Amino acid sequence: MTKTITVVTGYNGGIALSWDDVGSIDPCRENLPAFQKYNAICTVNLNSLSGSPQSTKDNLSALHAAGWEIAAHGFNHEDPVAFLNNHTSQEWLDQEIIPNIAEITGYGYPVYSFAYPYGSQNGTTDALLAPYFRTLRTTNFGTVNVNESAAYYKWDDTQVLYGVEIDDQSNVSLGSIQYGIDYATKYGYVLVLYGHSITSNVTGPYQTSTSRLDSILNYTYQKGGKFYHMGNLGNSSWSQPSISSNVTAKFTSNPTTGFAPLNVAFTDTSTGLPTSWLWDFGDGATSTVPSPTHTYSAAGPYTVNLTVSNGNNFASKTATITVLASNSDDDGGSSGGSRGSSGGSSGGGGGSPEPARNVEVKELSQVFITNGKATKFDFTKNATCVVYVGFDSKKTVGKTTTTVEQLKSKSTLVSSLSEGEVYRYFNVWVGNSGFATSKNIDNPTICFKVEKSWVQDKKIDQDSIALNRYSDKKWEQLPVSLLKEDSKYLYFTADVPGYSFFAITGKTNTTPGETVTEIDDSDNTKDMENTNSEVNQESGEKENTGMPGFEMVYGVAGLLAVFLYKRR
């Protein structure tokens, strides 16, 4: 029997070497000089990066900068055929393929090829993936001699290619691989090879020794072979799909309930090829990675919001995480209302520095912040004394949460006010720590309300009502403007330098001849009795009353009145 061999002209033969799984990134970066010694470039096939440290992501960036291709390998590394036995095709695309592409492109790496996890594929999977990738790589299982495999790309637009594993315990001999390199370079083919983790000391499967790797790279180089990306092969008529005009936000949470501190893994399953993600965890913390993890330290219900965008539009989805108070919580954590677009709850300080036991009630408001537009957080539940918080944003940050905490008493984190009757202490926290600064926002304001009954009961001079802000270890009194009033409240606005700790104060009306003692900052302050402010200084001319010690008592009373007057 005669075997026909087609010689391909116009192409240099060589190898396309790829490395599977996120775990291959660090070893490849560590051995990058060994690849560069032979001008070798490779492809790294990735599953989800969400659990990887920043150092691994930096190493991936270094590989890409060195000319390497970054490709897909299934977001959760699920066996495709087994998965489709129990799920629909759309569920597979939504869970394994689209998030995989979205995450990689989100880091700035274009995606051209896909390596099947476990080499598991069939005609159905190939057809489903054909629009998304130029090249699909599966595996030649049980290959011993490369020359007997179908591991060659012959520039014939074949989209599904079969790779040979080069790991030391793959049963493929180095001599067989070298034969394959000879065959490829002779006829202008590309030999498809793949491995996993590179190590100098092989201790088990899925490991390629540095010595074996060097032999393969050196042999290819000596034979004049070229090093290819997997994305250079496959269907030459394939074109990268355009981003869908409609993006849909989807995600899963695991777990959805548990005791504090609760660590929750969020997995993005959005469709429409999103390119950016913004997570709001409902406790003041946010993230921009596709599939983050987050720890909730305080008890309470939390509304998690994911906003995704593909450059054309954006979409959001929410879910609830319920954190239960641990047995060691002295104050029982938080309870009460829900957290949503605007929601109130009692207890728990969430992501703020305020001790939870001093938070009387809190209310949250969420707004999508866009560069150059006025931003206003309305607190529609009327849970606190704050009506709204507003500013002009200098940058687009997406969905952002502002939290108002109305306190039971003065925070232990601030000093006492020097004067004035305190109506309410409250805190305002906008987005992440460090966001609400002059670098990011202009014209910050607060609108708050004061009960008329408090003004009347405490005999407060309405014109003396002020907003005080604590910053840099001191209080600053800010002027306010009366916005409106109704039968129950006076509404004021104030321009503020920033958002932090606040107190609303007012001064008691006084009449000539009277003085009012300094008001304590505690909630249960009692008015002290007014005292005569005019001291009779003619006691020396008064007639002796005949009552022993009377003059002494009278003199002491006068001195006390002077003392109280000067404290005013």
User: For residue 7, what pLDDT is reported?
Assistant: 62
CB neighbour list of residue 259: distance below 8 Å, 6 or more residues apart: 323, 324, 325, 326
Same domain, 518 and 551: no
Domain limit, last residue, from 232, 264, 291: 232
Same domain, 462 and 417: yes
User: For residue 142, what pLDDT is reported?
Assistant: 64
User: Can you list the pairs that 155-159 forms with residues at least 24 positions away whose Cβ atoms lie under 8 Å?
Assistant: 155/8, 155/11, 155/188, 155/189, 155/190, 157/234, 157/235, 157/236, 157/237, 158/234, 158/235, 159/126, 159/130, 159/133, 159/134, 159/135, 159/234, 159/235, 159/238
Pairing between strand 226-228 and 14-20?
parallel
Same domain, 84 and 183: yes
For residue 337, the SS3 value is: coil
State how many domains the chain has.
Answer: 4
Contact indicator for 149, 110 with CB cutoff of 8 Å: no
Same domain, 515 and 540: no
Measured between alpha carbons, how far is 189 from 386 in angstroms, rounded to an integer? 71
Same domain, 410 and 449: yes
> pTM to 2 decimals?
0.49
Residue with tokens 């009552």: 547
Domain limit, last residue, from 232, 261, 294: 232
Examine residue 92 and state whether it is found in any structural domain, yes or no.
Answer: yes
Same domain, 37 and 80: yes
Contact indicator for 402, 367 with CB cutoff of 8 Å: yes
Examine residue 340 and state whether it is found in any structural domain, yes or no.
Answer: no
For residue 76, the SS3 value is: coil
**Torsions phi, psi for 388 (to 5 deg):** -155, 160
Q: What CATH number does the domain containing 443 carry?
A: 2.60.220
User: For residue 257, what pLDDT is reported?
Assistant: 86
Same domain, 297 and 410: no
Same domain, 87 and 102: yes
Domain limit, last residue, from 232, 260, 278: 232
Residues in the chain, pLDDT under 50: 1, 243, 327-350, 512-554, 556, 562-568
Same domain, 567 and 431: no
CB neighbour list of residue 192: distance below 8 Å, 6 or more residues apart: 15, 16, 137, 151, 152, 153, 161, 162, 163, 164, 230, 233
Examine residue 4 and state whether it is found in any structural domain, yes or no.
Answer: no
* Nearest Cα to Cα of residue 114 among 175, 53, 52, 44: 44
The DSSP secondary-structure symbol of 317 reads E
Examine residue 1 and state whether it is found in any structural domain, yes or no.
Answer: no
The DSSP secondary-structure symbol of 2 reads P
Examine residue 338 and state whether it is found in any structural domain, yes or no.
Answer: no
Examine residue 290 and state whether it is found in any structural domain, yes or no.
Answer: yes
Examine residue 24 and state whether it is found in any structural domain, yes or no.
Answer: yes
Residues of the domain holding 227? 14-232
Same domain, 359 and 498: yes
Same domain, 315 and 216: no
Burial of 294 (0-12, 13-18, 19+ CB in 10 A): buried
> Could you write out the three-class secondary structure of 352-380?
CCCCHHHEEEEEEEEEEECCCCEEEEECC
User: For residue 510, what pLDDT is reported?
Assistant: 67
CB neighbour list of residue 414: distance below 8 Å, 6 or more residues apart: 470, 475, 501
Q: What CATH number does the domain containing 271 carry?
A: 2.60.40.10
Same domain, 159 and 308: no
